[in-house]
Amino acid sequence: MSDLDRAIAQLRACRPIPEAEVRQLCHKARELLIEEGNVVTVNAPVTICGDIHGQFHDLMELFRVGGDVPDTNYLFMGDFVDRGFYSLESFLLLLCLKVRYPDRMTLIRGNHESRQITTVYGFYDECLRKYGSANVWRYCCDVFDYLALGAIVLGASNTLPSSSGQPAASPPADEVEIEVHNAHGHVISRFLRPKETKGDGTGGARTASPNGGLSNGVSSDSSSGSGSGSASSSAPANTGPPGSGASGSSGGSVGNPAGAVLCVHGGLSPLIDMVDKIRLLDRKQEVPHEGAMCDLLWSDPDEIDGWGLSPRGAGFLFGADIVKVFNHRNDLSLIARAHQLVMEGFKEMFDASIVTVWSAPNYCYRCGNVAALLELSEDESGLGVLARSNGEVNRSDGGVGPRGVLMENDLMGARSGPARRYRVFQAAPQDSRGMPAKKPVADYFL
């Protein structure tokens, strides 16, 4: 194991490990990953991260903000490689950590974890440059084929544990649904759960607020909703997503309070109506160009009804109604996904039934965006764990009533999923990383 620790140390210094070690590492990783189901079960607490894209120094910053590995339980939602200049180091480090701490690290596959995509977007070239042959790329691609396609987070709490950065005069923890922290752990803004009396109208508005609130509220230290204690106060400032009002059953049914959280790189697929269907895929293959596996890695949520064609050419667009039905059917409270750049680092959509998490700050070294982590805390009451189910209907409401009458039942309760704490961070300071550049070709004949 000391070998592995040494490799981790070397990779942390952003120095690639020798080819032979990569081969060993990939071998070990394969043994590990083959034992994982297509949908890995992860228990809260967990920190969920989006795309990394080879931005090694920002990955280090991520670990700094989110906590180091054995201490924090991480779930990375794919796209570790390509575009950035340190895909190799980033992916190998994550893989090393996976092998070293298998229970504290979950890696799922993104659309860039594929041979075709990596040959075009930089990972292949990078391996070729850094090792002089494409072997390491091949080892890595073999590992890609074994990566899980999704994860289910169980046992996430509905209340946020108090954090050090929290000011004294904060609302009761169980009312807070979303907390946004900056890189230093200070609370930037806080969003409370809506009062039960509120009807549909605020649903869309409220959930739209984290992003709206963030963009104009980064400077203001305290939350917009903390004073009044009601979410409706923040509603006028932000209009809800246009689709939410029109989608029929008015956002009420989304998000089962006791449901699990599905993490997947892209999104949903028309071929997958149950999480269990994901388990039936033969995932050990190059990401296909269509079909369920492709969709899971390529789709995007969008303000539409039903399914739409994706401008990416692979996967689909899916609307709020799809998410709503899917979440209900599978007893999910939230879908966490990555795959799309969001300038604020995270973006909740469709009455907070789906969230995009993006963890590559200043994407491509020039997009100017911030990145985010999503922390789901552990339910310490001991009750919630039982209530949560893994895609099984009829158990999660704890015997409150029959599931079928979803409309009335869920409208009354808290509609939103687990308590979420976002940590927003910026790109690592320029000086800490040296100049990002590719390694030049050493010798040339022509």
Catalytic residue list: 112
The H-or-E segment that residue 371 falls in is: strand 371-376
CA distance 4 to 401: 51
Nearer residue to other proteins within complex by CB, 274 or 407 = 274
CA dist 160 and 175 (Å) reads: 9
CA distance 359 to 344: 10
Residue 212: CB minimum distance to other proteins, A: 11
Q: How far is the CB of 381 from other proteins (least distance, A)?
A: 28
Minimum Å distance from CB 394 to other proteins? 17
CB of 346 to other proteins, least distance (A): 12
How far, CA to CA in Å, does 195 sit from each of 94, 176, 192, 244, 376?
A: 41, 11, 9, 19, 22
Query: Which of 170, 231, 175 has its CA nearest to residue 202?
Result: 231
Structure-token pair, residue 213:
């609130």
* CA atoms of 90 and 55, how far apart (whole Å): 7
- For residue 287, give the nearest of 307, 322, 315 by alpha carbon: 315
For residues 168 and 431, which CB has a smaller minimum distance to other proteins in the complex? 431
Phi, psi of 79 (to 5 degrees): 55, 60
CA distance 433 to 60: 10
Between residues 23 and 198, which has the closer beta carbon with respect to other proteins? 23
Terminal CA-to-CA distance of the chain, rounded, Å?
A: 44
Least spacing, CB of residue 400 vs other proteins, in Å: 28
Nearer to other proteins, 6 or 438 (CB): 438
